[in-house]
Amino acid sequence: MHSIAIAGMGRMGANMALRLAAKGITPVVWNRTPEKAAALADKGVIPAATLTELFSKLTEPCVVWMMLPAGQPTETLFLGLLSLLRKGDMIIDGANGNWHDAVRRSEKAAEMGIDFLDAGVSGGIWGLEKGYCIMTGGTETSFRKAEPFLKALCQEGGYMHCGGSGAGHFTKMVHNGIEYAMMEAYGEGFELLKASPFGDIDMAELASVWNRGSVIRSWLLELAQNAFDKDPKLEKVEGVVPDSGEGRWTVEEAARLGVPLPAISVSLFKRFRSQMKDDFGDRLSAALRNEFGGHEVTGK
């Protein structure tokens, strides 16, 4: 079996390293701030303070799984790894990155005889305990080399070779677009329940009931129940919903390919709206109502 390193000890990367260790695979771990890697030294992993040290602790051929934020952090790490890796080694990109970047990186790695997989990783903070769901893109040969690690990380049947380079990140992009729309649908439904004449319905209990035989049962609904159990009226939560990029890319690809995605598109724009304070467009609408109809305008 190839030896493996995980580069990036954020919540996902650290938990993936710990799950590998729990499955009998000892990963070498590295982080841009070495303290995060060192803190896991007594948990069945091998910390490395630098990338050079990381490679000194790996046997040939090796796999390095990148789990840094998408964009420049991952690009910087990728280029750094290319300067250290040997022919026959492998890079797996587990960031929520744009699939076009995966295609480009795969081509660059291939020029140096280095295998490359793009891996869309889902499971969040529960992946350590429950196992992850991982979608991969790349060659069949690269997939098979990585399969022992995928099997250790995932739930049974929870990983897949989706196609050529970029397919893993493209599939994860669509996965997250669907997630956006599902979250929006649950949010709207519970909003209507709250506004109804029966607004004192126990939301946590209802979520639990819906998860027992209902056609809308899901893990997201289980998480909704958890959230209501902790804070029944969600009074401790601010209604700002960031978007990390995948929803935007999903809508952009749909526009490019001429595929209608009304629900996913609306859920993306709703997230944009949640991030706006004192929206200029709303102020103009209020001013226009005053201009044409004399409707009252509420000042600041």
Q: Which residues are catalytic?
A: 172, 179
Inter-residue contact 230 to 265 (CB < 8 Å): no
> In 10 A of CB 7, how many CB atoms?
27
Any residues with CB less than 8 A from the CB of 256 and at least 6 apart, and which?
none
> In 10 A of CB 87, how many CB atoms?
10
The DSSP bridge partners found for residue 3 are 62
